Amino acid sequence: MGTQFEHDFIPLPENEFAVAAVERLFAETPAIDPPLLFLFGPSGAGKSHLVMQALEAFHHRYEGVRQRTLSAYEFATLNMESAAGEEETAAQLEELADLDVFVCEGVQHFDRQTWLQKKLILLIDDILRSGGRVILTSQLPVGAYEQTHPKLVSRFHSGVTASMAMPGVESRKRLIQYFAAIHDLEIHPTAVEQLARKMPVSPREMHGAIVQLEAVQRLEEREIDNGTVEELLAFQQPRNVPSMTDVARSVAKEFGVTVRSIRSPARAQTLLIPRQVAMLLSRELIQANYSDIGAYYGGRSHSTVMHACQALTRKSSGSPELDYRVCQLRRVLQGQPIKPR
């Protein structure tokens, strides 16, 4: 089980309790009874990152761990296919009950979905009964759900509930310095302060901002100072943020393919690069989560999208032509003028 993120999870004061809760869940003997964690927080706060890094460490400590991570969309799809008589899918659902660790991401999407809620209740009970551990992530606290089965609410509250809050100014400074270091970005100390104070965003969005500044430094050979940060902040002001459809259309036009083809499950080699570019730009410009991007592009999994984004980044660094096309698409979708070659 290799790491699925470009960098390590950064513990911050705002997520201290969540980190401790995950450590307790993955202790040799879980220090949570029942061993269930309900982890909530806004998109980009680091829920998936924290969980996946802890899971990787758990796999290193113990051999033969049976683990499965599903998005709400993937869980719903498995149950619908099973109900339609798909024997292979039904067998997969049965195997979930014997897992050592089960992670379901984005459970807020089950709100008002009574049938799926009942399926999740049964699965949680089966896993806990057999000695497994359960992690459920959500963008909302349970109290914000509108129509959820009382038994499922009870399961959510039965273990430990932890939140992942947005980082404050000091934590944002730490994130900026860390991300700048891993991207070999030289950024003036006053620019760090300016960016931290004027950009109250999630760790994921802050990483995206540093990636943009790194591109400016690399392509335009500019110093990253207060002026450069001001330009970035100007583009962060309320504006028409592109949708995933906008991204798909622009990428399809650039690469001479159809939107329908890059959104399909097809694995043709001619679609590989365009689809990876579209996924990466959806992540960078829209801050869409991996599960939503995967659902849009042919029902692909969270991990598939992460690997696609990482693969495209590596390919771009070794291909000036591809890097130029990605940068031009990024500028077009942000409403910036196209740079000459």
DSSP state of 160: E
Amino acid residing at 10: I
Q: What are phi and psi of 117, to 5 degrees?
A: -60, -45
Q: What are phi and psi of 337, to 5 degrees?
A: -65, 150
Both structure tokens of 303: 């991990």
Amino acid residing at 24: R
Instruction: Output the CA torsion 294→298→299→303 (10° steps).
Output: -40
Per-residue pLDDT at 3 = 47
Average pLDDT, 10 consecutive residues per value, the chain (341 residues): 71 94 96 96 90 95 94 90 85 93 94 93 97 95 88 95 92 96 93 92 90 88 88 69 92 94 92 95 85 91 88 83 86 73 56
Amino acid residing at 100: D
Q: What are phi and psi of 138, to 5 degrees?
A: -150, 150
Per-residue pLDDT at 339 = 60
Per-residue pLDDT at 84 = 85
Distance CA 244, CA 311 (A): 20
Q: Which of 195, 206, 198 is nearest to 166 (CA)?
A: 206
Q: Where are the alpha helices (DSSP H) in 130-268?
A: 150-158, 169-182, 189-198, 203-220, 226-236, 244-255, 259-263
Complete domains list, the chain, with CATH: 13-163 (3.40.50.300), 169-236 (1.10.8), 244-333 (1.10.1750.10)
